[in-house]
Every structure is written in C-alpha cells, then in structure tokens.
C-alpha cells in the first residue's frame, strides 16, 4: 500500500518522493492532516481509492488475526515453531521409536531419570497426547531418513527401536545405522528370528520383552532376595542406593591407577561391582590390583550423591 500510494502520487501529481510518501502515510493511516499541495481531480480520486484500500486492508488484517486467535491456529503455529526450535537445540538425547506398551514404559523411566528424549510414532492421536503433556514427539515413520535427521540423530546419545513389528524395527535400525555408524542402538524383538535380524541390521543390543519377562519370573521364583536387591539398586525411585555405570575419561586422575590406589570405597563410599573394558569385556568383582584405564566403564553401587561425586572425578 505504501509503495503503491507513493508511486501513484509521484506519477499523477509529479510530487517528490518524500512528499508522495508522506501523503501516502497520512492517507492510509487516516490521520487527516492537511494536504501538502493542491490535488488535481485525478489526485483526489486516487486519494479516495487509497483510503478505501487502506481501511479495507486494515480491517481484513484485524479480522484475520482475530480468527486465528479464536480458533487456536495462531497459538498452534507458535507451539509448532517452539517445538521445532527445541528439536534443533536438542542434543545428547535418546530417540525413542514407538510409544506403545513398551515405549511408554521406557519414556516413563526416562522422565524419572531426567533423561532427554524425543518420541517418533505413526499414531497422530498418541503423539498429540504426548505433546499436550509437554513432551517432544513427532508423528512420522521412524524408518525415514528425513525424520531421523529432523529429531537430531547426528546429536543423539542413542536410539531405541520399539515399534510394533520386527520388520519395522529392522528398517529403522538400518536407516539409523546408515546415518550414524557410531550411534548406540537398542532394538526390541518379538521373536528369536527377530533377535538375529535386528543384530544383523546393526543394533548394539537386542532385547526380547517376552524372554526378559520369563527369565525375571523364573529368577523371582528361585532367587527372590537377589531379584529384590537388583530392583532396589537399579530403581530410579530409590534415594538411598543406586547402581550406575560411569565412564573414565582420558584426562581423569583415576586412569592408570589400581582399585587399591584409587581408593574409591573410602573416597566416595561406593563399591565397584564390575569393570567393562574398552574392548567390551566385562570383569566382575575385580581384584584390588585391577588397573583402571581411560575408556573403561565402572559398574558401581552406592548412594546417589556419592555416585555423582565419582562421576565428576571420572570426567576429569
């Protein structure tokens, strides 16, 4: 409107750029100041058209904004932009593919632990419910490259493939492995054949909920005290005792020292249950002369605050 009005006055009345722009502004805004120069009949007609167009445009804009606010579209757009910005800033998070019976339990555990994650699920209603609860979720096919890129797979800590079928999980893992060869991937398998296929697809760990559940029930029947202890140590709700894995960084002063020299029990009040070496081998109940090396994962048991102190020392 401003550009057209300015050009119109310059062409019709032969005014300067500043005069034409000033006249257009006071006309469109309906301020009503006096005319800068005497208008010709063509100029008066152009001014009338400019006033009608300006007022009409203003009313249309106000009506459009009001309708967007009333039906919620404007807020929905703001929420969508906010979620996209959060996805762009997300890092060191888990990508949870599937929010069914297994996925919802995983998400609940992540929330209790304070772990950042984003959910990918095909069910739009399920995703809508998650968004309403303030969680990050995307309604899409997790096996598509553009979807995994959108949820920040290049910045992710790991991916959990827990969608409905083994075939979907295989495709998801293949896509994720192609995008991030170094990504830590966990796959959920329904069958024994699925366990093998998900492993060949590139999953670092493949778990079968039915097999785990059956083993857990058998162990509970045979060794209930042991099962109770493990659940107590690994539960995020326990405030007195916790089991955690802590990685030794390159610059930590603990690297190159034996368990006896590191004196972890006296310094931090924790018990070293095992050491997973950098090559993946697990050493259970390590002896006092076991040497700690950079890249090792310490499986330790102790109070949560002591574990945090050890984690800081292990990071250097």
pLDDT score for 57: 86
State how far the Cα of 314 lies from the Cα of 295, in Å rounded to an integer.
10
Beta bridge partners of 15: none
CB-based contact 235:246 (threshold 8 Å):
no
Task: Evaluate the CA torsion angle 133, 139, 141, 142 in order and state its sign.
Answer: negative
CB-based contact 186:160 (threshold 8 Å):
yes
The pLDDT tens digits of the residues spanning 207-219 come to 998 888 888 899 8
pLDDT score for 200: 93
Q: Rounded mean pLDDT of 285-311?
A: 90
pLDDT score for 279: 83
The pLDDT tens digits of the residues spanning 29-61 come to 877 677 778 888 898 899 889 888 888 888 888
pLDDT score for 164: 82
Q: Would you say residue 87 has pLDDT above 90?
A: no
pLDDT band for position 236 (cuts 50, 70, 90): low
Tell me whether domains 2-71 and 239-315 share a fold: no
The pLDDT tens digits of the residues spanning 256-270 come to 999 999 988 888 989
Q: Would you say residue 177 has pLDDT above 70?
A: yes
pLDDT band for position 75 (cuts 50, 70, 90): low
State how far the Cα of 211 lies from the Cα of 208, in Å rounded to an integer.
5
pLDDT score for 207: 92
SS3 labels along the chain: CHHHHHHHHHHHCCCCHHHHHHHHHHHHCCCCCCCCCCCCHHHHHHHHHHHHHHHHHHHHHHHHHHHHHHHCHHHHHHHHHHHHHHHHHCCCCEEEECCCHHHHHHHHHHHHHCCCEEEEECCHHHHHHHHHCCCCEEECCCCCHHHHHHCCHHHCCEEEECCCCHHHHHHHHHHHHHHCCCCEEEEECCCHHHHHHHHHHCCCEEECHHHHHHHHHHHHHHCHHHHHHHHHHHCCCCCCCEEEEEECCCCCCCCCCEHHHHCHHHHHCCEEEEEECCCCCEEECCCCCCECCCCCEEEEEECHHHHHHHHHHHHC
pLDDT score for 239: 61
Q: Rounded mean pLDDT of 175-199?
A: 93
pLDDT score for 175: 95
Both structure tokens of 234: 């690994």
State how far the Cα of 267 lies from the Cα of 248, in Å rounded to an integer.
16
Beta bridge partners of 185: 159
Q: Would you say residue 74 has pLDDT above 80?
A: no
- CATH topology classification for 2-71: Helix Hairpins (1.10.287)
The pLDDT tens digits of the residues spanning 244-254 come to 889 999 889 99
Both structure tokens of 288: 């006092």
Q: Would you say residue 230 has pLDDT above 80?
A: no
Q: Rounded mean pLDDT of 273-284?
A: 88
- CATH topology classification for 82-213: Rossmann fold (3.40.50)
Task: Write down the residue that tokens 């949870």 correspond to.
Answer: 96
**Do β-strands 158-161 and 184-188 pair in parallel, antiparallel, or remain unpaired?**
parallel
Task: Write down the residue that tokens 């063509």 correspond to.
Answer: 42
Q: Would you say residue 72 has pLDDT above 70?
A: no
CATH architecture of 239-315: 2-Layer Sandwich (3.30)
- Percent of the chain at pLDDT above 90? 41
Mean pLDDT, the chain, rounded, equals: 88
pLDDT score for 65: 78
Give residue limits of the domains in the chain: 2-71, 82-213, 239-315
State how far the Cα of 264 lies from the Cα of 268, in Å rounded to an integer.
6
The pLDDT tens digits of the residues spanning 124-176 come to 999 989 988 888 999 999 999 999 999 999 999 999 999 988 999 999 999 99
């Amino acid at each position: 409107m401003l550009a057209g009005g300015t050009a119109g006055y310059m062409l019709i009345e032969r005014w300067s750029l500043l005069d034409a722009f000033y006249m257009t502004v006071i006309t469109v805004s309906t301020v009503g100041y006096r005319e800068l120069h005497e208008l010709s009949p063509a100029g008066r007609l152009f001014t009338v058209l400019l006033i009608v167009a300006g007022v009409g445009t203003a009313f249309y804009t106000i009506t459009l904004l009001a309708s967007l606010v009333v039906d919620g579209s404007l807020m929905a757009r703001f929420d969508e932009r906010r979620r996209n910005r959060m996805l762009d800033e997300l890092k060191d998070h888990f990508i949870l593919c599937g929010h069914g019976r297994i996925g919802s339990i995983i998400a609940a555990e992540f929330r209790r632990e304070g772990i950042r994650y984003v959910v990918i699920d095909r069910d739009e209603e399920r995703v809508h419910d998650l968004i309403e609860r303030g969680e990050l979720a995307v309604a899409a096919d997790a096996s598509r490259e553009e979807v995994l890129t959108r949820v920040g797979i290049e910045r992710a800590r790991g991916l959990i493939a827990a969608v409905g079928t083994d075939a979907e999980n295989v495709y998801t893992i293949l896509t994720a492995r192609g995008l991030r060869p170094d990504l830590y991937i966990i796959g959920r398998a329904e069958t024994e054949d699925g366990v093998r296929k998900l492993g060949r697809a590139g999953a670092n760990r493949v778990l079968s909920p039915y097999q785990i559940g059956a083993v857990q029930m058998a162990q509970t029947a045979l060794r209930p005290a042991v099962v109770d202890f493990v659940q107590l140590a690994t539960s995020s709700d326990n405030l007195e005792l916790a089991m955690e894995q802590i990685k030794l960084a390159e610059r930590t002063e603990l690297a190159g020292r034996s368990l006896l020299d590191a004196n972890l029990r006296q310094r931090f009040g924790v018990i070293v249950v095992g050491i997973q070496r950098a090559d993946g081998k697990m050493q259970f109940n390590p002896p006092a002369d076991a040497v700690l090396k950079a890249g090792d994962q310490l499986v330790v048991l102790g109070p949560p605050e002591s574990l945090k102190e050890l984690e800081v020392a292990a990071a250097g």
